[in-house]
Structure 1
Amino acid sequence: MSARASLRLRDHAYSNFTAKLLSRDIQPGQIVSQRELVELTGMPLGAIREMIPRLEADGLIKTVPKRGLQILSIDLELVRNAFQLRSIIEGEAVMAFCETATSDDIDRLIRQHQDVRDAATSAVSPDILQKAQQIDWDFHDLIIDAMGNAIISDIHRVNAIKIRLIRNLDTRMLPELVVSVLDEHLVILAALKERDVEGAVRALQTHINSAKRRALGM
């Protein structure tokens, strides 16, 4: 197998693993073997073995001698660390986005958010809920990726996986949260439209702190 094909298989295995993790087919803190990961992900053993060092480097698993591989455990330290990292990275990103995003891009985001918010005020159907969740995730990915820094984007992606694992239901979009979360985004976008850097950072931090409070059960 060529090096390129091997890399594709490893990346595919990583994607399958994280999908299973986020769907809770693999539980935080669970001990698994390489063979079990083969069955869970549907990937060959070679790809699993190549994936493991990347998962360890990302802090998603750790090797437990004589037992196997332990999936990332969720605890208070992880919550605090993950949200602190998010606050630092996204705070820097939104400042840059405020200066570099085009007015058309910002207007498009406002319309996108407003349309889903308006629909959600009547009834939050499964389709609206899914759209709202995707808008939430896509918005944060967008401002990070707009920095054009692959290292930061990679760190953000791994941290986002950890945050989505933390009290999974509490950090996902719930029907009763759709309007308030989109309103928080719209405050950020209003500041971006005015090129108000301080206002955008302040609104973003308010949004992140709301998610952190939900994760902590506050």
Structure 2
Amino acid sequence: MLMETDKRLALQAYEQILNLIMSGMTPPGTMITERRLAETLNMSRTPIRDALLMLEGEGLLIRQGSRGLQVKQMRIEDYMDALQIRLLLEPEAARLAAGNMPVELLDSLGETLQMLVEDGRLGQSKPDRSAVRDVDDRLHGGIGDAAGNPQLAQIIRTLRRQTQIFDLRSVPERFEATCQEHLDIIGALRDGRGEEAAQAMRQHLGHVKDSIIKRLTRT
């Protein structure tokens, strides 16, 4: 078993490697080596190895025999399968989380979203993808935690990581709609309206799915 210090270092390595993947700095198809990551992150290879095992278990890294680990290249079929499971799980998580999330968190997320929408309407040239992703992570992750089922929360986190490669870079026209849909979810969660929170989440994920299909089938 990992000692407490080892666990902490492994989690630090995990978060940093995950950020490299999600930010696009380590794109799909990249081969991962412990030595290079240890040099990049200025860490020993033991926590790096533990972190890579965690990411492999979540499906973000694929083992390529003796060549090592590769950042997964998400096929559209994989994406749609993961999104379909999210459509089954996340509305129920939102229903369970309604009235159970910290009001301060929801208000903070709502204020950030309102500012992002206003900036967009004032002619900001590019949407702030990092800010939207941060809100997305805190909202969806918070819903999973507040649902009261740790296994459900972990499954949702894993599925979300597998679908995040199709973010606003793929559908930039979804920027304002995404913000508004999140605001609708937040309003229902804050007021404890479970069924409305579930419906708002269902509509949000359904719109995401429809947008990706539309983008892929565009001629």
Q: Which amino acid aligns with 1:207?
A: H
- The runs of 5 or more residues in structure 2 that have no matched partner are none
Structure 2 CA distance, aligned partners of 1:31 and 1:149? 35
* Cross-structure match for 2:75: 75
Q: Is the 8 A contact 2:106 2:186 kept in 1?
A: yes
CA distance 1:40–1:164, shift in 2 (3 Å): farther
* Cross-structure match for 2:64: 64
Deviation track 1:46-86 (CA, whole Å, cap 9, x = no partner) reads 22222232222111212222222122121022211221232
Indicate whether 1:181 and 2:178 are aligned: yes
Structure 1 CA distance, aligned partners of 2:188 and 2:203? 13
CA distance 1:136–1:108, shift in 2 (3 Å): same
Deviates more, 1:184-193 or 1:17-26: 184-193
* Cross-structure match for 2:146: 146
Q: Is the 8 A contact 1:10 1:47 kept in 2?
A: yes
Identity, % of aligned pairs? 25
* Cross-structure match for 1:159: 159
CA distance 1:215–1:30, shift in 2 (3 Å): farther
CA distance 1:215–1:35, shift in 2 (3 Å): farther
Deviation track 1:95-139 (CA, whole Å, cap 9, x = no partner) reads 112354587876676555445434432233669665444333322
SS in 1 for 2:70: strand
SS in 1 for 2:170: helix
Give the TM-score normalised by structure 2.
Answer: 0.78
CA distance 1:125–1:51, shift in 2 (3 Å): same
Structure 2 CA distance, aligned partners of 1:12 and 1:165? 22
CA distance 1:55–1:113, shift in 2 (3 Å): closer
CA distance 1:107–1:35, shift in 2 (3 Å): closer
Structure 2 CA distance, aligned partners of 1:21 and 1:6? 22
Aligned length: 214
Structure 2 CA distance, aligned partners of 1:166 and 1:115? 23
- The runs of 5 or more residues in structure 1 that have no matched partner are none
CA distance 1:15–1:190, shift in 2 (3 Å): closer
How far the C-alpha of 1:20 sits from its partner, in A, is 0.8
CA distance 1:119–1:40, shift in 2 (3 Å): same
Structure 1 CA distance, aligned partners of 2:110 and 2:67? 50
* Cross-structure match for 1:88: 88
SS in 1 for 2:66: coil
